[in-house]
Structure 1
């Protein structure tokens, strides 16, 4: 498949193109939301803004808000990332999963790492939630806490699972869609382009994780989300398959939703409140940290892949040029492919 944009586009230009595609996709998603809301909920385009701002005042408010969240994220993020790969002439499989297929247990291992890390993460959550900014950043702190409150109010409203149907919708919109959409963008595109830019997969992992956390606009949960992004980034870099961080991301969100549902039904102990920003007892956090680090080491050993970009190869008169440097020995093109040229024999 040949695209109309070069697959060797400069990383910064590729990221700018991604942003442009995301803006276009968000416009498309907004149009789709208006159409669906009109057909199924009889809400006109003029009423839609009021419903999404105050969903509690409309009997279909929860459904419309879930629809908006799901379509904006899926079309705006996943759609843009997939479109970028397509216009560069790359298949989705080769772009987002250069190492394929992967064993199913890799997905289970990635999910286990995230689930087992939750007690340890509670310490980071508690520390970040109580962080104090310097005096000169007071206005920013007030703004950030206001954004945090708005995000918490929205989350609490969306996670009112009064029925099994609502739970299933919540799992789809809050667990499945973000796992697919955010991983395609931040690990599948952003991380890959930063690796190309700096030539280091560590830089790609950390910088994409920073952007992943920043875009959520929740600064009193910034550090835990940054750490989550780093773990997801390394899982992608090591495994070479986007399905691995997707499985981990889904596990993170799905466990939180299921815990909330259990709490709302009165079957969850008060000490395991998923909405709490309090740290769990230190023995739990210590055990969690040890198990998580152990599984991460296992993943690194078993996956054995750094996600480094494929280096271009050029056949020249001096042999095969790899990444712009000539190998120590000359290479020749044979029926078996490119092979080291035979050494000249000494005269008899």
Structure 2
């Protein structure tokens, strides 16, 4: 297919294009939020800000907040990421999933990795939550903690699932939509272009993970989210299909939502699962979790070393003037090699 802009743009130009598309998509999302909130809840454009800042003080505060969050992520993030390949002459399948179809084992292992990593991640959560900034940054630390405390109060309100219907809405907005939209942006576009820019899969994965964690503006949760970003990034690089990190991302958020709902339904006790606690699980369980998670990741990595004729997500197809795939860059199964947009090996990793 033929795009509106060149498919040979420098990765930095692609990232700038993504930013521009996101700004446009956010405007579209704002319009949709205003229309839908007025139709469904009778909340006009000028009231949305007040409702979403203090949803507990409005009768329809929960519904409006969930609606706006879902539309913002799905359209503002996902819509922009989906528009970029079309503008540059690629299909969604070629851009986000050059290695397809993905074996079901990849999806199952991605889910298992996230579940098995929970105890280990609990240790990172506790350590990061108790971290302190240097003395000259004390005022910044105080402001950051106050901001996170306010966010935690809002999150606690939005995750009060008083009915099964609310639970389903929460699962869609908090687990499904972010898994799709954020993976398209951070792994599908940002990581892809960073890998091509720096000529190294490792640099691209680590930078994308850092951006992924930083953009959430939760400084006392930066490290565990950064580690999650690394796992998601390597799952994408190794699998060559965006569905794999999407499944892992959904599992990460959805598992917590399900546990929270079960606890609220009194199917789990506070001793078993406390949603407000940052306390780590026992050290031996964290160690076992780390070993099992590492073993599962190693199994997936070993799979990428086997000879295959599939493209990695950062190896691009070359399009003819009519937008038809004329040839592809060299297809190599070896992890660590990166082919730039001219088909030249620029490996650094």
Contact kept? 2:124, 2:223, Cα under 8 Å: yes
Report deviation, 1:95.
Answer: 0.3
List gaps (5 residues or longer) in structure 1: 315-320, 326-348
Q: Which has the larger radius of gyration?
A: 1
Separation in 2, partners of 1:148, 1:39:
32
CA-to-aligned-CA distance 1:297-317 (integer Å, 9 cap, x gap)? 011112447544238689xxx
Alignment-derived partner of residue 29 in structure 1: 29
Specify the alignment match of 2:287 in structure 1.
286
Corresponding position of 1:345: none
Residue 344 of structure 2 is matched in structure 1 by 323
Q: Which has the higher contact order (CA 8 A, sep 6+)?
A: 2
Q: Does 1:309 align with 2:315?
A: yes
1:298 aligns with 2:299: yes
- CA 1:162–1:322 in structure 2 vs 1: closer, same or farther (change >3 Å)? closer
Once the two structures are TM-superposed, the CA of residue 44 in structure 1 deviates from its matched residue by 1.8
Q: 1:324 to 1:40 in 2, by over 3 A?
A: closer
Question: Residues of 2 paired with 1:219 and 1:323: CA distance?
Answer: 39
TM-score, normalised to structure 2, is: 0.88
User: Could you report, residue by residue, the CA deviation over 1:271-315 in whole angstroms, capped at 9, with x for unpaired residues?
Assistant: 32233211101111111111100000011112447544238689x
- In structure 2, the gaps of 5 or more residues are 306-310, 319-326, 329-341
Residue 160 of structure 1 aligns with which residue? 160
| CA distances 1:173-193 after superposition (whole Å, capped 9, x unpaired) | 000000000000000000000
Q: 5 Å matches for 1:1-348?
A: 1-269=1-269, 270-304=271-305, 307-310=313-316, 323=344
Q: Judging changes above 3 Å, is the alpha-carbon distance between structure 1 residues 114 and 6 closer, same or farther for their aligned structure 2 residues?
A: same
Q: 1:318 matched to which residue of 2?
A: none
Report the CA distance shift for 1:306/1:294 in structure 2 as closer, same or farther (over 3 A).
Answer: farther
The answer (yes or no) to whether the contact 1:201–1:307 under 8 Å persists in 2 is no
RMSD value, Cα: 1.9
Q: Distance in 1 between matches of 2:301 and 2:313?
A: 12
Give the aligned partner of residue 338 of structure 2.
Answer: none
Matched-pair contact (CA < 8 Å) for 1:195–1:309: no
- Seen in structure 2, the aligned counterparts of structure 1 residues 322 and 157 have a Cα distance that, compared at 3 Å, is closer
SS of 1:89's equivalent in the other structure is coil
Spell out, residue by residue over 1:104-142, the C-alpha distance to the aligned partner (whole angstroms, 9 max, x if none).
221111011011101000000000000011011112111
Segment of structure 1 superposing worse, 40-49 or 30-39: 40-49
Question: Using the alignment, how far apart are the partners of 1:324 and 1:193 within structure 2?
Answer: 15
Tell me the distance in 1 between the aligned counterparts of 2:345 and 2:21: 32
Aligned residues: 320
After superposition, what is the alpha-carbon deviation per residue over 1:167-212, rounded to whole angstroms, capped at 9, x for unaligned? 0000100000000000000000000000110000101100000000
2:98 and 2:312 in contact (8 A); partners too: no
Q: 1:306 to 1:136 in 2, by over 3 A?
A: farther
Q: Please list the CA deviations of residues 149-182 of structure 1 after superposition, one character each: whole Å capped at 9, or x if unmatched.
A: 1221121111000000000000100000000000
Alignment partners' CA distance in 2, 1:46 and 1:308: 43
Contact 1:2 1:88 (8 Å CA) reproduced:
yes
Name the CA distance, whole Å, in 2 between partners of 1:134 and 1:50: 35
Residue 6 to residue 135, structure 1, CA distance change in 2 (3 Å): same
Name the TM-score, length of structure 1 as normaliser: 0.88
